[in-house]
Amino acid sequence: MVKYIIKRLLLAILILFGVSVILYVLLRFMPSSYIEDQYLISHAQGGASPEEMREDLYLILANYGLEDDSFMGIVRGYFMWLGKFLQGDMGESFKYGKSVQAVISQYMWLSFGISFAALILEMIIAIPLGIKSAVNQYSKFDYVTTVLCMVGIAFPSFFLGNLFIKWFAVDLGWFETGGITSGVTPDQGFAYVLDFLWHLVLPMSVMVILSIGGLMRYTRTNTLEVLNADYIRTARAKGLSEGKVIYKHVFRNTMIPLVTQLSFTLPSLFGGAMITEQIFALPGIGQIAYNGLLAGDIFLAMGYNMFLAVLTVIGVLFADIMYAVVDPRVKLGG
């Protein structure tokens, strides 16, 4: 087990190195840069000549390794960034005026809370539906849930989000959109908590509805495969009740492929739902990173995407280890 984990960690380091190179090169070729844009705006009405402005801008960019867009300049800038990254410094967010670590740690917890609650609701609803649909294959229940799930999968998040805003916020007036509170301050205690949770109902509903379909169909497919296995027929032949067969034998073996899918939810838990947060104006890390990317905030975009890459690698490693927990027959090779 230890040898296997060490090998996977070494492979993860290699993967993260490759990801960081690709990300840095792509971000350096972005058409806009926050530093350049802000410098030109602030000095547009100044008395400096174009040559002096270029020299000043060059010196500012040189502090961050961004002054040279040639191949060797990008290589030098990358290793300058990498050296700081290995020391735990992701750089400075130009747009928000603080370190990238501070930006991520400040805004990711709202995204995590919403995503985690949505994930729990998704699992509570989707997994039992998937198992029941598989057990009652080709029944009316199976057809109805399949159609509803396909409809949910087909809806883009921006479409369903705007539809909910139109129905429940504009037409019915049940909810307010835009932010996480409606003027209630934290010192008002329980009223603030209720107002905060009420603002999250619509975005969480969108996230759950859009996610249920995929997990439900995945569970149904895996359950059908397990139901056709020889050991399930043997268990029924021994006289075990249908409930014991389903929830003791079928469900446990269905969990193995589900662990694979759920392992990839780790980046989404901390990384935020970028489109949903944008629609409902939630100050989560997804919207913050999106606004930073639009503004050309290179280090924030770099740090955010590397943060997601690290979470993805951790999630995959966690899934491999969980295989042995869910199914004792799985042995992690050395």
Q: Could you count the other beta carbons within 10 Å of the beta carbon of residue 276?
A: 26
Where is average pLDDT lowest: 39-53, 68-82, 257-271? 39-53
Longest distance between any two alpha carbons in the chain, whole Å: 92
- 44 shares a domain with 114: no
Query: Which are the contacts of 212, defined by CB distance < 8 A and separation ≥ 6?
Result: 122, 125, 126, 129, 149, 152
Residues 6+ positions from 183 with CB-CB distance below 8 Å? none
Residue 222, token pair as written in the block: 């895996």
- How many angstroms separate the Cα of 194 from the Cα of each of 27, 48, 187? 41, 54, 13
Provide the percentage of residues in the chain whose pLDDT is more than 70: 90
Identify whether residues 89 and 189 lie together within a single domain.
no
pLDDT band, residue 271 (cuts 50/70/90): confident
3-state secondary structure of 92: strand
Residue 334 lies in a domain: no
The answer, yes or no, to whether residue 4 has pLDDT greater than 90, is no
The pLDDT assigned to 70 comes to 86
Q: Are residues 223 and 286 in the same domain?
A: yes
**Residue 178 sits in the same domain as residue 282:** yes
Domain boundary among the residues 38, 66, 94 is at 94
Inter-residue contact 310 to 304 (CB < 8 Å): no
49 found inside a domain = yes
Q: Please indicate, yes or no, if residue 109 is contained in any of the structural domains.
A: yes
Mean pLDDT of 65-87: 89
Looking at residue 333, its pLDDT comes to: 57
Per-residue pLDDT at 244: 80
63-75 residues labelled b (16+ CB within 10 A) or e (exposed): ebbbebeeeeebe
Query: Is there a domain that residue 332 lies in?
Result: no
Least confident residue range of 45-59, 109-123, 136-150, 213-227:
45-59
Please report whether residue 201 resides in a domain: yes
296 and 157 together in one domain: yes
| 182 and 77 assigned to the same domain | no
Same domain, 10 and 118: no
Tell me the CATH number at 308.
1.10.3720.10
- Within 8 A by CB and 6+ apart from 303, the residues are 90, 91, 93, 100, 101, 103, 104
What residue has token string 């939810």? 265
Q: Which of 33, 65, 94 corresponds to the end of one domain?
A: 94
pLDDT for the residue numbered 101 = 93
**pLDDT tens column, 137-147:** 889 999 999 88
Overall number of domains in the chain: 2
Residue 199 has pLDDT above 70, yes or no: yes
Token pair belonging to 284:
């989560």
- Which pLDDT belongs to residue 185? 74
CA 23 – CA 239 distance, rounded (Å): 58
Question: Where do we find the tokens 């149904």?
Answer: 220
Report whether pLDDT(330) > 60.
Answer: no
112 and 66 housed in the same domain: no
The predicted model gives 19-45 an average pLDDT of 81
Nearest Cα neighbor of 207 from 105, 280, 130 is 280
Is 184 among the domain residues?
yes
Q: Which residue has the higher pLDDT, 72 or 261?
A: 72
pLDDT for the residue 148 = 86
Band the pLDDT of 257: cuts 50, 70, 90: low
Per-residue confidence (pLDDT) for residue 140, from 0 to 100: 92
35 lies in the same domain as 183: no
Same domain, 188 and 254: yes
Percent of the chain scoring above 90 in pLDDT: 16
> Per-residue pLDDT for 1 more than 70?
no
Give the pLDDT of residue 255.
Answer: 72
- Quick check: is 50 in a domain? yes
Return d(Cα 67, Cα 87) in angstroms, integer. Answer: 23
Look over the chain and give the mean of its residue pLDDT values, rounded to a whole number: 83
More confidently predicted of 228 and 284: 284
Among 29, 62, 94, which residue terminates a domain? Answer: 94
Return the pLDDT at 102: 93
Q: Which domain holds residue 284?
A: 100-326
* Structural domain contains residue 305: yes
Is there a single domain that holds both residue 42 and residue 126?
Answer: no
Assign 100 a pLDDT band (cuts: 50, 70, 90): very high
67 and 104 in a common domain: no
Least confident window among 54-58, 90-94, 263-267, 328-332: 328-332
Q: How far is Cα 301 from Cα 103, in angstroms, rounded to an integer?
A: 11
